[in-house]
């Protein structure tokens, strides 16, 4: 269904494999149940641990990642129809732009797909590095350490054979969590990237008004269509905000604190292996933050640029009715639709 829209195909395919989108089967309950059990054992460990500051920071980072993973899975299931509808809207708008047979629009779409695929693969690569870091950390320690700090009531998880069983469980659940967590971020970034292309296509359409020989009636209809398309962009961005605002707010606060803690932790680690592993954790956070907020800022800038493109139409030479419509469009575009960590009225 989405094979020809490579911008989102990889992310949707992974989420669909775990039955978090479209499909409904036992895999969604297995991955959620295992993740929740794992989070509970981590919370119990954090409440009872006597580890030093470095151990607390490292396990806090992992706990935040897993809580975030469970929250994302829950949001996908809770608002599944909204996500599916947003994907459907993106698909329809994508084909609408592709049918325009415009070289500039075709270039924008090709560039977007190329960047989206690179971003999705890059995020998965950093996720793989983090998974390897989780597995290597215990191996670089002089004593028995689990990839994630966790405690099972009534069981000594460091005694044989419980240690080996729990270690294998951690290593099996880590790729599953990675495939639940990272594709969600990449999918949301893909939504934002397409919003940027929608803004750029509207700017292109407005700037072409000067090149097209339109009579006053045709010009008025074209401006009205541009205003309608602008409202579609605003509604599209508001839908993204509705689905992602709170999870990104929690993530921003948690990752900001953890980034400071991990940088502080680098002062205390005593081996090059631990430094490499902590650096992988830091790169994972930076990759997630950069992927999201870079494109979110670009979306805001492109929305502002719609006002500039509308002004460059030489609107003051048009009829009074057309001038008023363009002025209203400029005024609205100066309050740009944007993805933010707090709700607001656009």
User: Hey, CA dihedral for 90, 91, 94, 100, is it positive or negative?
Assistant: negative
| 211/118: higher pLDDT | 118
Q: Which residues contact 92 (CB under 8 A, 6 or more apart)?
A: none
346 in any annotated domain: no
User: Which residue range is the domain that position 187 belongs to?
Assistant: 6-334
Both tokens assigned to 265: 């932790």
Whole-number pLDDT of residue 297: 92
**In angstroms, how far is CA 148 from the centroid of its own chain?**
24
297 in any annotated domain: yes
Give the chain's domain count.
1
Whole-number pLDDT of residue 345: 44
345 in any annotated domain: no
Taking residues 109-133, report their average pLDDT.
85
Q: Are 303 and 233 in contact (CB under 8 A)?
A: yes
139 in any annotated domain: yes
DSSP 199-239: HHHHHHHHHGGGTS---HHHHHHHHHHHHHHHHHHHHHHHH
Average pLDDT along the chain = 86
259 in any annotated domain: yes
Whole-number pLDDT of residue 344: 52
For the chain, percent of residues with pLDDT exceeding 70: 96
* pLDDT(237) > 90: yes
> Which of 83-97, 154-168, 238-252, 264-278 is modeled with the greatest confidence?
83-97
Any idea what the Cα angle at residue 228 is, between residues 224 and 233, rounded to 5°?
Answer: 145
Taking residues 164-175, report their average pLDDT.
88
Taking residues 152-168, report their average pLDDT.
87
Taking residues 310-330, report their average pLDDT.
84
Least confident of 12-16, 190-194, 214-218, 310-314: 214-218
Q: Are 301 and 198 in contact (CB under 8 A)?
A: no
Q: How far is CA 324 from CA 20, 34, 127, 319, 346, in A?
A: 47, 59, 51, 9, 21
The whole-angstrom separation of Cα 71 and Cα 22 is 18
Taking residues 294-312, report their average pLDDT.
92
Whole-number pLDDT of residue 346: 45
């Amino acid at each position: 269904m989405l094979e020809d829209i490579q911008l989102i195909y990889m992310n949707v395919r992974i989420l669909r494999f775990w039955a978090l989108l479209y499909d409904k089967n036992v895999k969604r309950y297995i991955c959620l149940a295992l993740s929740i059990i794992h989070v509970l054992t981590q919370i119990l460990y954090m409440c009872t641990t006597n580890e030093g500051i470095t151990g607390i920071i490292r396990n806090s980072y992992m706990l935040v990642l897993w809580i975030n993973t469970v929250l994302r899975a829950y949001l996908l299931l809770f608002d599944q129809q909204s996500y599916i509808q947003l994907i459907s809207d993106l698909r329809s708008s994508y084909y609408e732009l592709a049918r325009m047979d415009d070289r500039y629009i075709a270039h924008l779409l090709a560039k977007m797909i190329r960047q989206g695929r690179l971003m999705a693969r890059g995020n998965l690569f950093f996720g793989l590095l983090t998974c390897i870091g989780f597995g290597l950390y215990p191996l670089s320690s002089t004593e028995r350490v689990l990839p994630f700090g966790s405690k099972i009531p009534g069981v000594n998880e460091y005694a044989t054979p419980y240690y080996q069983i729990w270690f294998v469980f951690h290593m099996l659940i880590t790729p599953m969590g990675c495939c639940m967590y990272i594709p969600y971020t990449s999918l949301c970034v893909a939504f934002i990237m397409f919003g940027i292309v929608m803004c750029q296509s509207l700017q292109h359409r407005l700037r072409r008004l000067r090149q097209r020989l339109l009579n006053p009636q045709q010009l008025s209809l074209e401006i009205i269509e541009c205003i309608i398309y602008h409202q579609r962009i605003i509604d599209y961005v508001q839908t993204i905000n509705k689905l992602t605002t709170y999870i990104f707010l929690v993530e921003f606060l948690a990752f900001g604190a953890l980034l400071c803690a991990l940088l502080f932790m680098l002062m205390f680690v005593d081996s090059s292996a631990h430094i490499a592993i902590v650096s992988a954790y830091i790169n994972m956070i930076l990759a997630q933050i950069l992927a999201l907020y870079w494109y979110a800022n670009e979306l805001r800038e492109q929305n502002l640029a719609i006002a500039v493109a509308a002004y460059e139409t030489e609107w003051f030479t048009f009829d009074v009715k057309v001038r008023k419509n363009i002025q209203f469009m400029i005024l609205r575009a100066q309050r740009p639709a944007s993805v933010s960590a707090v709700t607001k009225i656009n």
